[in-house]
Copies of this chain bind each other. A is one copy, B any other.
């Protein structure tokens, strides 16, 4: 089974058409914990904001018509009838010829329809002189002008930042309905790796992938569950995958299984449930052994064992799935233009991704220099690469000095 590799585009299509990633169900959480979460439904205001006519300045609430004609040499004379405090309903009414002292944010008292700024007045006891006429509604923020009752203020799918959470608070809310965060079980396989924190047996190296992929899951908006290194055994792997599927919304494995035939992981995965393996090997370099399966609605990504390849394939294929399962828009990697610092060869017939470092070249442009990802640098490449360059299947190489598009893996420029 699964003899023929899929092309990269076919693999992406299979994810879209067969895996069909979509947002999980909702949960209601505290607004204070809602940072970077995704709104489940449109938010409609249950109140007018402001809920009453407010003064936007410090001054005197008046009937506008009482000030008509007032100017520097000919002030309008009004009698101060009281004070309106901020945060309280006004206890006074402004009658013709009267003015009420008012501060910014306080409710406009009955009878008044404008506010004269304190700078434009002069007061002696209860006697007020107004040196500048105001029009109706001047310096008044009217009820509902900021948000009308019934208005949709935020849309489903919006990611909540400081502003959006501020708007929800303005509506008096302390809870908000958001999409659940997809839980992603992360495990490593392979007889050559051992878990960090344990003693390193002769002939083994420490596992990197369960840590780097757990972090990548978090970066993508998921919640990782670290399951560590699974012993190199068919039954153990099966048991681990069953446990992972039961406890998470998605499973991420990396590495191979060294006992038994090469395609042991896909075979086990296929036996766990329908529809089973949908992508088994992709014509890409690196990352050829990548397989993707679906058990019920739960995706299983089996990534390569090489740490940089695993993280790259995660980025290309798994990250968008986690974003969609979070209800988020899929964010494309940011790109920059650069010149190839050397000729970069592709792997014949495979979509090739070359990890690169960016350097400032002459004349302020950027130069992209390949990072060794093969024999040496398996680990340090991870920390060093700024991004990657894509070479299409039908192109042999990128030439020295050619302008290329670099997809960024971190913020570097």
A361 at the interface (CB under 8 A from B): no
Residues in B neighbouring A88, C-beta threshold 8 A: 191, 202-203
With the chains together, A91 CA to B339 CA distance in Å?
A: 49
Which of A49-57, A92-100, A263-271, A396-404 has 4 or more CB atoms under 8 Å from chain B? A49-57
Given contacts A382-B163, A410-B161, contact A191 B146 (CB under 8 A): no
A89–B266 Cα distance when bound, in Å, is: 29
Whether a CB of chain B sits under 8 angstroms from the CB of A35 is yes
Are B105's CB and A192's CB within 8 A?
Answer: yes
Interface hub of A87, A107, A232 (most chain B Cβ within 10 A): A87
Complex Cα gap A216–B168 (Å): 15
Mask of A375-387 contacts with B, CB within 8 angstroms, 1/0: 1111110110100
The number of times this chain is found in the oligomer is 2
Are A379 and B202 interface neighbours, CB within 8 A? no
Taking CB atoms, residues of chain B closer than 8 Å to A139 are: 375
Q: Could you tell me how many residues of chain A have their Cβ less than 8 Å away from some Cβ of chain B?
A: 89
Q: Which residue of B lies closest to A103 (CB)?
A: B258
Cβ–Cβ contact A219 & B35, under 8 A: yes
Q: Given A196-B169, A383-B153, A377–B35 Cβ distance below 8 Å? A: no
Q: Report yes or no: A209 in contact with B166, Cβ–Cβ below 8 A.
A: yes
Q: Mark A178-193, 1 if CB is under 8 A from B, else 0.
A: 0000000000001111
- The CA of A214 and the CA of B34, in the complex, are separated in Å by 11
Question: In the complex, how many angstroms separate the beta carbon of A223 from the nearest chain B beta carbon?
Answer: 11
